[in-house]
Structure 1
Amino acid sequence: MSSERKDQHVDLAAAQQAAPPSRNDFDDVAFVHHALAGIDRDRVSLRTSFAGITWPVPLYINGMTGGSDRTGRINRALAIAARETGIPIASGSMSIALREPDTAPTFRVLRDENPDGFVLANLSADADPDQARRAVELVDANALQLHLNSVQETVMPEGSRGFSAWPAAIEAIVAAVDVPVVVKEVGFGLSRRTLERLAGLGVAVADVSGAGGTDFARIENSRRPEADYAFMAGWGQSAVCCLLDAAHRDTTGPTAADATPSATPATPSPIPALLASGGVRTPLDVVRALALGARAVGVSGVFLHAVLGGGEEALVAKIRAWLTQLGQLHALLGASDPAALTATDLLLRGAVHEFCELRGIDAAAYSRRSAHEEHR
């Protein structure tokens, strides 16, 4: 990926953020308001833990960019904001730094400006173990993101057209690096079936990274001379639908139907601990994702917009405001920590409700979760 293309991606992503969709699937998730459920704010802890990792807050700056002078300046602002607010930060794809070492400082700045923070390196799922180790070393990473972007590659004029080697590559990298591996989509979602397969490859954490935010099919189509892949816009599942899908195990398929009455019920296949991103616009969206089972929530577009508009000072102010509001929303909902949000009552409407019906998910059960919790 050339430095020029990195800059193009920033411009096209910023253009999408400047004119976002009027709504997305987060708007189809509402909390049932229980007027006496609230607790004192000082009883709330925003700390979250998953797969041996503990973060002080369930919010992180997701991977965006790097690889050019301009994107290096953006990464510097993001790193300063992460340092000043104490939230984790992920790198954009670092493949270019491994091919073109002169671009490495545009990624290394994430650690240089944030020496004590939690930093995630980032590579494509077709990387090899040596590349993975080098990426981790470049930013002294605490974890490694491997991104799945087959839709983006399909539309990208110079993209890859081979994806069959990815599972083996992921498994090899998980075995080779000494930091946790987080597999993420780039905005098209991870299905329950995909999550089960990732768990089988040894992956302990996955970011479902759903549709509804930055659309890389649209971005890559804008780079095509004929713009002839416009029909791919909107591909995939939202983070909301992915989280619902992840919590549901299909018991209506051939395996269940063929089981004899005396057979021992199948144990649900494990899945990784879940992070969520894609289309997150407000602290309310963060709380919605946490209530649907995410352990933490990543934000890219809104934070990029803040940096481009006002630099690191603007982003620091926005993140601090979000953290304040997250604590207040927890207190309002009676949740003493992010995990407690999974016992709140949710109303699933519109397209999300339709998704539940089509996937065999009991949407109504989400509206009665607090009663179930009280009777446990």
Structure 2
Amino acid sequence: MSSKPNHEEPAPSQPAAMPSKQTLPRRHSRKDDHVRLANAQHEAEGCNSFDDVRFVHNSFPDMAVHDVDMHVDMLGSQWDVPFYVNAMTGGSASTGVLNGALAQAAESCGVAIASGSQHAALRDRALTPTFTTLREHTHGFLFANVGPSVTASQARQAVDMIAANALQIHVNAAQEIVMPEGDRDFSAWKATIREILETVDVPVVVKEVGFGMSQATIRAIAAMGVAAIDVSGRGGTDFITIENQRRNRSEYGYMAGWGESTVLSLLNAVEVHHERLADRDGSSHASSDSVLQPQIVASGGVRTPLDVAIALSLGAQAVGVSGHFLHTLIKSGESGLVEEIERWKQQLRSIMTLLGARTIPELRTRNLLVTGQTGREAELLGISLKDYANRSVQSVD
């Protein structure tokens, strides 16, 4: 979640006990507002773009569950599990409690975790413990998180603050526009990202915050030379709706649902990937930087292990999960979240077995039917969905 300056707030006695909107002045409670409103959205969660995608069934998997290898090579590290706890929170006493519980669950399950925006701690050192609790509770892969409104030096501070293995830079213009206290000038964002890339010594991921990415956006980010792109599409937490609920008049309600869905964003990423490979093969003067292929991460509206399998099959190297895991923690506590993550690991392995996919690369060769609104939007963008429905069963890189 994106963050602006705020002040430390009293911690609740239990992680699930979020303060109501009325307990603190709005300027003090924004981070807790985000958690409370995001959790309420999850409870009302319905269909999204993942429902427009189906695997083509094969009655003979020709393998056993124990044959599945779910590991992925992500940002220079080997992950045993291709999904992780994505960026959520931090910046208040109560959200610091949530961060500690999320990190402990990630450690118990052997999955990576990402911090929420660390802007608050960069501006107020008293809030640093709400983020350092992440590293205190996990030895695993950990993402730091800033937006492009910080300096390159501050980005490096965010990485050092939690001894992070990688850095997420969240781009959230749509959220900022509706946020009452949000930024209104985005003219320096690309330049700042380039400066951060030159300054930090860990892999950098540029991520959206639930509004997805067009092909033009993905091209622009890929050209910067980032290590990975998190397309973070529409379908999960809607930060326009959240920020609109925080406005006195809530006058931006008509903008709910802004942006591209996660599935459409993944399809866009594949198109850009193919374009860049063609440019590399067809241009003898292309520089190595111009054809660098960043890894693709999927997040936004991931509700089930089947959604994870679909995202991986559509080209994601890893899948970030925020809303569902946060809701599970608030509802069932840390032990409930650990049980849920373990269930997801087992169920993803079962789904891969059903598809006859021993590895994640094999999963990317399984036939997919993309229909509904997502299919219609993809066709308007010139994306050939027949290619996904008739893919080879040969392994690919």
Q: Distance in 1 between matches of 2:216 and 2:75?
A: 20
Deviations, residues 271-296 of structure 1 (Å, cap 9, x unaligned): 42100000000000000000000001
Query: Partner of 1:260 in structure 2?
Result: none
Query: Partner of 1:20 in structure 2?
Result: 45
Q: Distance in 2 between matches of 1:209 and 1:163?
A: 19
Of the three residues 124, 129, 136, the one matched with 1:100 is: 124
Of the three residues 41, 49, 63, the one matched with 2:65 is: 41
Matches within 5 A, 1:189-200: 189-200=212-223
Q: Distance in 2 between matches of 1:340 and 1:321?
A: 22
Matches within 5 A, 1:121-200: 121-200=144-223
After superposition, the Cα gap between the structure-2 partners of 1:374 and 1:328, relative to the gap in structure 1 and judged at 3 Å, is closer
Of the three residues 225, 244, 262, the one matched with 2:248 is: 225
Deviations, residues 39-86 of structure 1 (Å, cap 9, x unaligned): 211211110014423211101000000011110110011011001000
Of the three residues 74, 83, 87, the one matched with 1:59 is: 83
Q: Alignment identity in percent? A: 49
Of the three residues 15, 34, 43, the one matched with 1:9 is: 34
1:365 equivalenced with 2:390 (yes/no): no
Letter in 2 for 1:362: S
Q: Any unmatched runs of 5+ in structure 2?
A: 8-28
Q: CA offset at residue 198 of structure 1?
A: 1.2
1:344 equivalenced with 2:366 (yes/no): yes
Deviations, residues 218-264 of structure 1 (Å, cap 9, x unaligned): 00000111100111100011110011111115999xxx9xxxxxx97
Deviations, residues 340-376 of structure 1 (Å, cap 9, x unaligned): 11100000110111012100011111111036x399x
After superposition, the Cα gap between the structure-2 partners of 1:213 and 1:203, relative to the gap in structure 1 and judged at 3 Å, is same
Q: Any unmatched runs of 5+ in structure 1?
A: 257-262
Of the three residues 112, 119, 126, the one matched with 2:136 is: 112
Letter in 2 for 1:130: S
Q: Distance in 2 between matches of 1:271 and 1:186?
A: 22
The DSSP-based 3-state class of the residue aligned with 2:299 is coil
CA RMSD, 1 decimal: 2.1
Count of residues in correspondence between the two structures: 363
- TM-score normalised according to structure 2 size: 0.88
- TM-score normalised according to structure 1 size: 0.92
- Decide whether the 8 Å contact of 1:48 with 1:339 is kept in 2: no
Q: Distance in 1 between matches of 2:356 and 2:269?
A: 25
Q: Distance in 2 between matches of 1:178 and 1:191?
A: 28
The DSSP-based 3-state class of the residue aligned with 1:173 is helix
Q: Distance in 2 between matches of 1:169 and 1:217?
A: 24
Deviations, residues 93-136 of structure 1 (Å, cap 9, x unaligned): 0000010111100100000011x211101001222111011101
The DSSP-based 3-state class of the residue aligned with 2:202 is coil
After TM superposition, the runs of 4+ consecutive aligned structure 1 residues lying more than 3 A away are 249-252, 263-271
Matches within 5 A, 1:230-309: 230-249=253-272, 270-309=292-331
Q: CA offset at residue 192 of structure 1?
A: 2.1
- Decide whether the 8 Å contact of 1:295 with 1:339 is kept in 2: no
After superposition, the Cα gap between the structure-2 partners of 1:374 and 1:222, relative to the gap in structure 1 and judged at 3 Å, is closer
1:323 equivalenced with 2:345 (yes/no): yes
